[in-house]
Amino acid sequence: MNTEVIFVDKNVNKEETYTQAVDIIRKGGIIAFPTETVYGLGADATNAEAVEKIFEAKGRPADNPLIVHVDSKGAALGCVEEVSENAEKLMDAFWPGALTLIMKSKPHLFAQNVTANLKTVGIRVPNHPVALNLLKRVKMPIAAPSANTSGKPSPTLAEHVYHDMEDKVPLILDGGPTKIGIESTVLDMTSEPPVILRPGNVTKEQIENVIGTVRLSAEVLGNGPKSPGMKYTHYAPEAPVYLIEDDSKLIKKAIEYIQGKGKKIAVLSSAEYPEADYHFPLSPETLYTSLRKCDMTDADLILAAVPVHRDDNDFMMNRLEKAADHKWFS
Ligand code: TXA
Ligand code: MG
């Protein structure tokens, strides 16, 4: 399959492009498109065969459910069985935006593979003009996980999608770099109090300001896997990643030690380390790009400089812990 990348200027409506994208989705195909968090790989959420193509292209385990994207609160309400007052408050406060709400799904609406046979579904309205234009035109819910190969860092540039999905997807809508750079906050509204299954740009405090107390899942707190999909390897580059306290003396010593063993080292940190073989910036916006850049080097080991005191709400740290499989350099 030939993969076509089309640049969609965010301020211009290129009707032809959307027509092509809508046509592919309506016919049961998949396309990649930008959201404000990361790029998504989308298909008609009501068509099991179409959704299966997403799992195939990503190599995604079948028991990991996908997020459904809709263009409005109204469309979301049409997809779920019960909506609590609190869920509506959150939709009003944060949509369009980086908050995915897990709610009880309307029966028989979504293809079973979207929800991995669960009775619940994760829904969000993305805050990106290209994603919204696409959703408004296609007039159906789009199931879309991040558009990376399963286990790899999520794509924040169309180039990342192309790298992972070349010949697997017919069309990538290029909307430039994604603004937030890390996936949406996932909040399970079917528990009382609601539970954050994945921290993101919408914080616990922001959510609590709207609906009162919510909890962090055991997995987010570092107490082992809980929600589907959280148990798999994530965001991992080729070379092993180790966390290290963000302390320049310690990092310089580590660089010297590793190089002394004849190995090459890449450092991810906000401060620069010219003595390292490679250095890439570390921030929510650059995390995935930097992890991907490590794969283009011959580094044997990657050190990520992080605060030593764990902040459960720190969504970048949450992703880094997974990328490092919780290993600390010592
Ligand atoms: O920002 C985002 O959320 C991006 C963009 C494309 O919207 N999407 C994304 O999708 O990150 P994905 O598939 O990579 O991550 C979806 C997460 C997974 O951890 C999955 O287990 C969880 O949401 N999830 C989806 N539906 C669920 C459900 N019914 N119950 C529990 N967790 C669910
Ligand atoms: Mg993902």
Q: List the pLDDT tens digit at each of the 330 positions of the chain.
A: 888 888 776 555 688 899 999 999 999 999 999 999 999 999 999 999 999 999 999 999 999 999 999 999 999 999 999 899 999 999 999 999 999 999 999 999 999 999 999 999 999 999 999 999 999 999 999 999 999 999 999 999 999 999 999 999 999 999 999 999 999 999 999 999 999 999 999 999 999 999 999 999 988 887 765 555 666 677 888 999 999 999 999 999 999 999 999 999 999 999 999 999 999 999 999 999 999 999 999 999 999 999 988 888 899 999 999 999 999 998
Same domain, 258 and 208: no
C-alpha 146 to ligand 1 mean position (Å) = 8
Same domain, 166 and 280: no
Same domain, 106 and 166: yes
pLDDT at 224: 64
User: Among 115, 107, 113, which Cα is nearest to 50's?
Assistant: 113
φ, ψ for residue 290, nearest 5 deg: -65, -40
φ, ψ for residue 17, nearest 5 deg: -65, -45
In a domain, 236, yes or no: no
C-alpha 84 to ligand 1 mean position (Å) = 21
In a domain, 112, yes or no: yes
Q: From the CA of 187, which ligand is nearest?
A: 1
Q: CB of 185 within 8 A of CB of 199?
A: yes
Same domain, 61 and 207: yes
Tracing tokens 């002394």 back to the chain, one arrives at: 260
- Residue 214, token pair as written in the block: 């919510």
pLDDT at 227: 58
Q: From the CA of 99, which ligand is nearest?
A: 1
Same domain, 286 and 178: no
How many domains does one find in the chain?
2
* CA 41/CA 161 separation, integer angstroms: 9
64 lines ligand 1 (CB under 6 A): yes
C-alpha 241 to ligand 2 mean position (Å) = 18
pLDDT at 206: 98
In a domain, 227, yes or no: no
Beta bridge partners of 122: 67, 102
Beta bridge partners of 104: 120
Q: What is the CATH number of the domain that holds 180?
A: 3.90.870.10
Residue 121: which H helix or E strand, with range? strand 120-124
The amino acid that residue 71 corresponds to is: D
In a domain, 329, yes or no: no
* CA 144/CA 141 separation, integer angstroms: 10
Q: Which atom of ligand 1 is nearest to the CA of 67?
A: 25
Q: What is the CATH number of the domain that holds 287?
A: 3.40.50
65 lines ligand 1 (CB under 6 A): yes
Same domain, 22 and 124: yes
144 lines ligand 1 (CB under 6 A): yes
* CA 229/CA 239 separation, integer angstroms: 22
C-alpha 109 to ligand 1 mean position (Å) = 18
Same domain, 208 and 285: no
Q: Which domain holds residue 274?
A: 241-323
DSSP SS3 for 188:
strand
Same domain, 148 and 254: no
102 lines ligand 1 (CB under 6 A): yes
Same domain, 190 and 276: no
* Nearest protein Cα to ligand 1, atom 6: 40
Same domain, 245 and 210: no
176 lines ligand 1 (CB under 6 A): no
Dihedral of the alpha carbons of 238, 265, 307, 314, in degrees to the nearest 10 = -20
Same domain, 49 and 132: yes
Q: Which atom of ligand 1 is nearest to the CA of 198?
A: 19
Handedness of CA 120, 125, 126, 131 (dihedral sign): positive
Q: Which atom of ligand 1 is nearest to the CA of 230?
A: 19
The amino acid that residue 191 corresponds to is: S
